[in-house]
Amino acid sequence: MALNRPQINVYNETGGLTGSTLCLPSVLEAPIRPDLVQSVHTLVAKNRRQPYAVSSRAGHQASAESWGTGRAVSRVPRVSGGGTHRAGQAAYGNMCRGGHMFAPTKVWRKWNFKVNLNEKRYAISSALAASAIPSLVLARGHRIEMVPEIPLVVSERVESLHKTREAIGVLNSLKAYADIVKVINSRKSRAGKGKMRNRRHRQRRGPLIVYAEDKGLVRAFRNVPGIELVNVRALNLLQLAPGGHLGRFIIWTRSAFELLDSLYGTTEVPALLKKNYTLPFSIVTQPDITRVINSDEIQSVLRAKGPRQTRRKICHKKNPLKNRHLMLKLNPYAKVLLEHASSVVKKKPSFVEEKGSFIEYLRIEIPNIDNMGPAPERGGFDRGRGRGRAHKEEKDDWVPVTKLGRLVKMGKIRSLEEIYLYSLPIKEYQIVDWFLPKLKDEVLKIMPVQKQTCAGQRTRFKAFVIVGDSDGHVGLGVKCSKEVAIAIRRAIILAKLSVIPVRRGYWGNSLGEPHTVCAKVSGKCSSSMCRLVPAPRGTGIVAAPTPKRLLQFAGIQDCYTSSRGATRTLGNFVKATFAAIGNTYGFLTPNLWKEIPYYPTPFEEFSDVLMQTEKIKY
């Protein structure tokens, strides 16, 4: 038996060669996609079903009624009447004899499924290509060991046969009758109720005969067991790959075989009989990836194999807060912070070791103590209010601990807008204080919250704080703590860390300063929703007290608002308003529609400054 080859021989009805050959059609070299064939076959096979369902009255044709709860029986409906035969028996339920079935079938199920035309054509091309490979045809179970060639092409004279005796003679001469014997021996009675539904027997599939013109061929072959016939212009996936399994044994007539190129075309030339269709082709021309990797072309440009690196199975995790070497590896600037901390902490002399050490200690702590006169009154030197309040309270100098903080204090970053431009996270609230010294804060609400623990109810205080400069910057902070003061103080810090920019706009013409929101924006938190609408100049803020205060801190002068949901929950309401204000920065006005050139981030631009390990004097 010959394998797949570019030239195909044509056989006559006696099994001999006619002497003519045909070129292998391009469709028989298409990519074989069993996954696509199975999915398309599954959907196409569903389109020949007929709707079926049980009667809507099935199981409910008895006169039954529940007996209620007073007769010590279940409340399922029971057949009415007297006697002990049918009366009193349970009815209607799916657990009852003569009742309805569980989930009765309905005719309005989805019976038919649409399949893309290109997918169906791809699946048919794959099935045709698989039928030209002898190993796949054998694997499907067809008996083609003695068949002279695959694909098997016979002359057009076969299309003119009229007698079944002649058809069987052709199959015997082509050594294909062994497949018919297999079909005859496989005929069995169906197991199940299909015996009562016009499908009493089941058998294997035999050869598929594809013809171009019926001149009596169908009448000759239709009574041979297992034989199926189909016109080449109406090839069907259900016949080319029954059950979704590739490798159907196909016997072609010459005219049908020559028509394949016109029906399916090639990968470059579209099909003549199908509109705008070209055959699919594989992106990977060599499926043997191992051979590709080991080829001389690939190995000549690959890097040489290095020594084998073995990973340690056990990795000891070290704490950078205790391991100084690991801390310096993670944060090189930690060395400067440690040196700064050690220089601030001064060694206090022992007052017991030597006499006069207390005076020396005072001279270290107060350098001008020798030039000061006696204290006129209680409370220390100079004017004071007692208890050490003579000296003015000095604020601790800010020592940045992040890269962004160092760049801000060194003056490399001059505004908050540069931070927003590169979306740099702010992790030190002192950065906001540095750029917005006039930032104001206000406590919106303080509420107690409780949690049930094993020791009882634990009460905490939750503080809602807003900060803003009334000029395009606003922040919201929420914090719980045991003490009210601590909750407020920490909420202020969180509010500063969450400061967002506000894009303001105009209503109407662009005269003067921006006074309202740039567009209609909305925000949502849980069930609370807030919507901000631009308003004419002079309208003011038409809003509830909570969003009104937040809009004032953001620097918006005129605005309409609408709210929905549980607005009495102040926490969610203020969060929804804050989310709506934050959405304004994502709106680009027409003057911002130009392309923004790419600039390196401050961390990339000042990387040489950030890599310095010596102490920096700000």
The DSSP line for 32-99 is --HHHHHHHHHHHGGGG-------TTTT--S-EE---SSSSS-SS-EE-SSSSSSTT-B-SSTTSTT-
CA of 23: how far to CAs of 85, 107, 135, in Å? 79, 50, 21
- What does each C-alpha distance from 551 to 14, 23, 479 come to in angstroms? 96, 80, 21
Would you state the pLDDT for residue 613?
Answer: 67
> Do residues 507 and 487 make contact, with C-beta atoms less than 8 angstroms apart?
no
What confidence category does residue 367 fall into, taking pLDDT thresholds of 50, 70 and 90? low
pLDDT of residue 395: 58
| DSSP result, 405-425 | HHHHHTTS---HHHHHHTTPP
Confidence of residue 311 (pLDDT cuts 50, 70, 90): confident
Report the half-sphere exposure of 190 (CA within 13 A, side-chain side): 13
Kindly state the average pLDDT of the residues 405-417.
Answer: 90
Cα distance between residue 406 and residue 412, in whole Å: 9
High-pLDDT (> 70) share of the chain, % = 90
Does the pLDDT of residue 384 top 90, yes or no? no
Instruction: Confirm if 209 and 229 have CB atoms less than 8 A apart.
Output: yes
Listed residue (501, 502, 529, 499) closest to 516, CA to CA: 502
pLDDT at residue 416 is higher than 50? yes
Residue type for 87, please? Answer: A
In this structure, what DSSP letter does residue 518 have? S
Is pLDDT at 348 greater than 50 in this prediction?
Answer: no
In this prediction, residue 104 has a pLDDT band, given cuts at 50, 70 and 90, of very high
What Rg do the C-alpha atoms of the chain give, in angstroms? 44
- Mean pLDDT to the nearest integer, 348-375: 49
Q: What's residue 38's pLDDT? A: 97
Q: Rounded to the nearest 5°, which phi and psi values hold at 231?
A: -75, 145
Q: Token pair of 218, please?
A: 């169908």
Could you report the per-residue pLDDT of 149-200, keeping only the tens digit for each? 999 999 999 999 999 999 999 999 999 999 999 999 999 999 999 999 999 9
166/174 Cα distance (integer angstroms): 12
What pLDDT does 589 receive? 73
What is the 8-class DSSP label of residue 30? S
Amino acid (one-letter) located at 126: S
pLDDT, greater one: 467 or 372? 467
Contact between residue 99 and residue 62 where contact means Cβ atoms under 8 Å apart:
no
Quote the pLDDT of residue 360.
Answer: 55
User: pLDDT band at 614, cuts 50/70/90?
Assistant: low
Average pLDDT, integer, range 237-253: 96
Question: For position 353, what pLDDT does the model report?
Answer: 45
Quick one: pLDDT at residue 201?
Answer: 96
Cβ 547 vs Cβ 561: under 8 Å: yes
Token pair for residue 95? 């657990």
The whole-number pLDDT of residue 560 equals 96
- Cβ partners under 8 Å of residue 187, min gap 6: 201, 202, 203, 225
pLDDT at 351 over 50: no
> Where is pLDDT greater, at 335 or 37?
37
Is the per-residue pLDDT at 310 higher than 50? yes
Average pLDDT over residues 444-457: 90
Q: Which is more confidently placed, 384 or 269? A: 269
Relative orientation angle of helices 164-173 and 177-185, to the nearest 10 degrees = 110
pLDDT tens digits, 270-304: 999 999 899 998 888 788 899 999 999 999 999 98
pLDDT of residue 481: 94
The per-residue pLDDT for 232 is 96
d(CA 616, CA 618): 6
* 480 strand-pairing partners: 462
Strand-pairing partners, residue 476, are: 466
Give the per-residue pLDDT at 99.
Answer: 95
pLDDT at 595: 76
**Pairwise CA distance, residues 259 & 294, whole Å:** 42
pLDDT band at 350, cuts 50/70/90?
very low
pLDDT of residue 605: 86
Q: In this predicted structure, what is the pLDDT of residue 282?
A: 84
**Residue 558: its pLDDT value, please?**
94
The band of 317, judged by pLDDT with boundaries at 50, 70 and 90, is confident
Model confidence pLDDT, tens digit, residues 187-241: 999 999 999 999 999 999 999 999 999 999 999 999 999 999 999 999 999 999 9
Among 222, 221, 179, 238, smallest CA distance to 204 is for: 179
Name the band, by pLDDT with cuts 50, 70 and 90, for residue 381. Answer: very low
pLDDT in tens, 550-597: 999 999 999 999 999 999 999 999 999 999 999 998 888 777 777 777
Name beta bridge partners: 475: 467
Res 87: pLDDT: 93
**pLDDT of 117:** 96
Q: How far is the first Cα of the chain from the last one, in angstroms, to the nearest whole number?
A: 90
pLDDT of 355 strictly over 70: no
Give yes or no for residue 345 having a pLDDT over 70.
Answer: no
* pLDDT for 352: 40
Instruction: Provide the Cα torsion 224, 227, 232, 236; round to 10°.
Output: 140
Six-digit token string for 472 = 């395009």
Residue 441 above 50 pLDDT?
Answer: yes
* Better pLDDT: 40 or 454: 40
Please provide the average confidence, as pLDDT, over all residues in the chain: 88
Q: How many CB atoms lie within 10 A of CB 498?
A: 18
- What is the distance between the alpha carbons of residues 501 and 474, in angstroms, rounded to a whole number? 7
Global confidence as pTM: 0.50
